Amino acid sequence: MPQPNKVKFDWWFYIIPVLFVLSALFHYGLYNAPGILRVVIYYLGPLLVSALAILFIFIGIIHALVKRPFLNKKRLISFGLLLLFPISFVVLMNTNGNIMAAFPSTHANYKSKVSYRLPLDGDIAVAWGGNSADVNYHVIAPDQRWAYDLLVIKNGSTHTGSGKNVEDYYCYNLPVLSPADGKVVAVYDKMQNVKIGELGAEPAHGNHVIIETAPKEYMILCHMKPKSILVKKGDVVAQGQEIGRVGNSGNTSEPHLHVHLQDSKQLSFGEGIPLYFSNYYKNNQYIERGMPQGGVDRNNKLIGDVVRNAP
Ligand SMILES: [Zn+2]
C-alpha cells in the first residue's frame, strides 16, 4: 500500500490566518476607529504585520533546519504566504505609501468657524490642493490630508532664467501672511535653503511656523526662507500679518509655500482638517469660501486654480 501524504502544516503556519485577520482589523480600524487610532494604524499597522511575518519566517527556517527535510510542499506554501506580507508592504511603500485614495480623516465633514485668508497676496497658482488625489498629492498623508502647495506662475513658468537659483522663482521671498488670528505655538528657523530639485532634506517641513487658530486647529506653514521668520513661540498674530517669507528649506523640489490645517500641534502627527479659504478670486470669479484645486496635465504642466486674495 502506498503511504498517504501525512505531512502536516507546521505549527508556525497558523500565524498566517492570524496575520490576515490582523490586516483586516487594521483596514477596518483605518476607516472606523477614532481619529488618533487611525493615524497610529496608518503608520504602524502594515509595519507590525510585516515585522511579525518576517519574525515567523525566521522561526520557520530554524524549525525546518531542525525538523528535516528542510522543505516540503506545505512549508513552501507557508513561506510563500508569509513572504506576501513584507513584499506587499514594500510595494505599498514604493507606490507612495498607500493604496488608499485618500486618508480617511474623521474631520472630512468638519467646517471650521474660522475664516482663513490666502497666505500670499497677488496671483497665486495652486500647484497641489483640494479634496482628491488627482488634484492634490498630499491626500494620502493623515496630517496633510487637505494641504496646499502654493507658488506663482508667469507665462506658463514658475521661474525666470535657468531656474537653477532659488531667486529665479517668482514666489521666492514673497511675504507669508498669517491666514487667521491666532497664537504661534512653534517656530523652526534653523535650516538653509536646499538646492533646486534636491529632495529628501530633514526636517522635511523646513523652516516653519505653527499657529493655533482655534481649539484643536493648527495651521502649519512650511519651507520658509532662512532667517525670515518674524514671529516666535507665544506671539499672538493677526490675520494678514507678515510672519516670514517664502523659501526653499526642507523637503521641497522648488520654492513654494506648503500650508495645511491639522488637529494636533505635533508636526507630522494628527489628522488633517479641510482647509477652506474665504474672500478670494478664482480666475477672476469671486469666491466667498472655497477649496482651490491644484493638479497637472499629462505633460506635468501645472493647471491648478489661480487665486487672489480679495481686498
Ligand atoms: Zn506640500
Percent residues over pLDDT 70 in the chain = 96
What is the end-to-end Cα distance of the chain in Å, rounded?
A: 94
Q: What average pLDDT does this structure show over 24-35? A: 93
**Quick one: 26 and 136 in the same domain?**
no
How many domains does the chain fold into? 2
Q: How far apart are CA 3 and CA 308, in angstroms?
A: 81
Please report which confidence band the pLDDT of residue 91 belongs to, taking 50, 70 and 90 as the band edges.
confident
Q: Is the pLDDT assigned to residue 213 strictly greater than 70?
A: yes
Choice among 89-93, 235-239, 264-268 with the minimum mean pLDDT: 89-93
> pLDDT-based confidence at 98, cuts 50/70/90?
low
Q: How confident is the model at residue 99 (pLDDT cuts 50, 70, 90)?
A: low
pLDDT at 2: 55
In this structure, the number of other CB atoms found within 10 A of the CB of residue 116 comes to: 22
Same domain, yes or no: 150 and 277 = yes
Give residue 128 CA to ligand 1 midpoint distance, Å. 7
The dihedral through the CA atoms of 256, 261, 267, 271 has a sign that is: negative
Q: Is the pLDDT of residue 170 over 80?
A: yes
> Ligand 1 centre and the CA of 148: distance in Å?
6
- 251 alpha carbon to ligand 1 midpoint, in Å? 9
Residue 59 CB neighbours (<10 A): 15
User: Is there a single domain that holds both residue 89 and residue 226?
Assistant: no
Model pLDDT, residue 95: 61
The answer to whether residue 118 sits within a structural domain is no
What's the mean pLDDT when you consider all of the chain?
A: 94
Query: For residue 150, how far is its CA from the centre of ligand 1 (angstroms)?
Result: 8
The residue count of the chain comes to 311
Listed in sequence order, the DSSP H helices in the chain are: 15-32, 35-66, 73-94
**Cα 89 to averaged position of ligand 1 atoms, centre (Å):** 24
Kindly give the distance from the C-alpha atom of residue 254 to the centroid of ligand 1, in angstroms, as a whole number: 11
pLDDT in tens, 31-67: 999 999 999 998 899 899 999 999 999 999 999 999 9
**23: pLDDT strictly greater than 60:** yes
107 in any annotated domain: no
Question: Same domain for 65 and 149?
Answer: no
Cα 75 from Cα 87, distance rounded (Å): 18
Return the percentage of the chain with pLDDT > 90, whole number: 87
Same domain, residue pair 203 and 73: no
Last-in-domain residue among 94, 116, 147: 94
Beta-carbon neighbours within 5 Å of ion ligand 1? 149, 258
Distance 26 CA to ligand 1 centre (A): 27
**CA 137–ligand 1 middle distance (angstroms):** 8
**Gap from CA of 83 to ligand 1 centroid (Å):** 34
Residue 89 — pLDDT band, cuts 50, 70, 90? confident
- The whole-number average pLDDT for the span 253-266 is 97
Query: 63 alpha carbon to ligand 1 midpoint, in Å?
Result: 48
Which pLDDT score is estimated for 188? 98
Give domain status of residue 81, yes or no: yes
- For ligand 1, the distance from its centroid to the CA atom of residue 258, given in whole angstroms, is 4
Q: What is the mean pLDDT of residues 147-165?
A: 96
pLDDT bucket at 4, cuts 50 / 70 / 90: low
HSE-up (13 A, CA, CB side) for residue 176? 32
Which residue type sits at 191? Answer: M
Beta-bridge partners for 219: 211, 261
Check if the beta carbon of residue 309 is closer than 8 Å to that of residue 240: no
pTM above 0.85, yes or no: yes
276 and 134 within one domain: yes
Partners of 212 in the β-ladder: 183, 218
Cell numbers at 59, concatenated:
522561526
Same domain? 142 vs 255: yes
Give the Å distance between the CA of 94 and the centre of ligand 1: 19
Of the two residues 97 and 255, the one the predictor is more confident about is 255
Is residue 173 one of the residues assigned to a domain?
yes
pLDDT band at 96 (very low <50, low <70, confident <90, very high): low
pLDDT, mean of residues 179-201? 96
What is the distance in A from the centroid of ligand 1 to the CA of 76? 44
pLDDT grade for 101, boundaries at 50, 70 and 90 = confident
88 and 145: one domain? no
Distance 122 CA to ligand 1 centre (A): 20
Q: Model confidence at 7, in pLDDT bands (50, 70, 90)?
A: confident
**What is the pLDDT confidence band of residue 171, given thresholds at 50, 70 and 90?**
very high
Above 70 in pLDDT, residue 137? yes
Could you list the residue range(s) of the whole structural domain that residue 292 is in?
124-309
CA of 11 to the centre of ligand 1 (A): 47
Q: How far is the CA of 223 from the centre of ligand 1 (A)?
A: 9
